[in-house]
C-alpha cells in the first residue's frame, strides 16, 4: 500500500469518528543489499518496511497509537474509539 493511500485511509477513519484534531505520520523505507565473492553474487537481500502512527486530541485528552501494519493501526483505533 502506498503512503498516500495509507494517509487517506487513516484520515477517513479518524474523521468518521468525529475527531477534528489529529496527526498522522507514515514512514516507508526500502533496503537493498548485494554481496559478492570472487566476482559472483554471494547474497542478495531486499526489504521494505512501512509504519504508521496516529495521535488524536479529543475532549482535552490525547491518544496515541503506532504500528508497522496499517490495518493494525486502524483496528487499534476502531477498538478504542
Name all domains of the chain by residue range, CATH numbers in brackets.
3-80 (3.30.2290.10)
Decide if pLDDT at 79 tops 90: no
C-alpha cell recorded at residue 80: 478504542
Supply φ then ψ for residue 35, to 5 degrees.
Answer: -115, 140
Rounded average pLDDT over 52-67? 86
Question: What whole-number distance in Å separates Cα of residue 57 and Cα of residue 24?
Answer: 12
Point out which residues pair with 41 in neighbouring strands.
Answer: 36
pLDDT range class, residue 72, cuts 50, 70, 90: low
Give the β-pairing of 21-37 and 61-67: unpaired
- On whether the CB atoms of residues 6 and 28 are closer than 8 A, the answer is no
Stronger pLDDT, 38 or 28, i.e. the higher one: 38
Stronger pLDDT, 58 or 43, i.e. the higher one: 43
Amino acid at each position: 500500500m502506498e503512503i498516500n493511500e495509507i494517509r487517506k485511509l487513516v484520515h477517513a477513519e479518524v474523521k468518521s469518528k468525529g475527531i477534528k484534531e489529529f496527526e498522522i505520520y507514515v514512514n516507508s523505507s526500502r533496503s537493498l543489499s548485494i554481496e559478492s565473492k570472487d566476482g559472483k553474487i554471494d547474497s542478495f537481500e531486499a526489504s521494505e518496511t512501512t509504519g504508521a502512527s496516529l495521535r488524536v486530541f479529543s475532549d482535552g485528552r490525547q491518544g496515541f497509537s503506532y504500528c508497522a501494519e496499517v490495518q493494525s493501526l486502524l483496528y487499534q483505533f476502531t477498538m478504542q474509539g
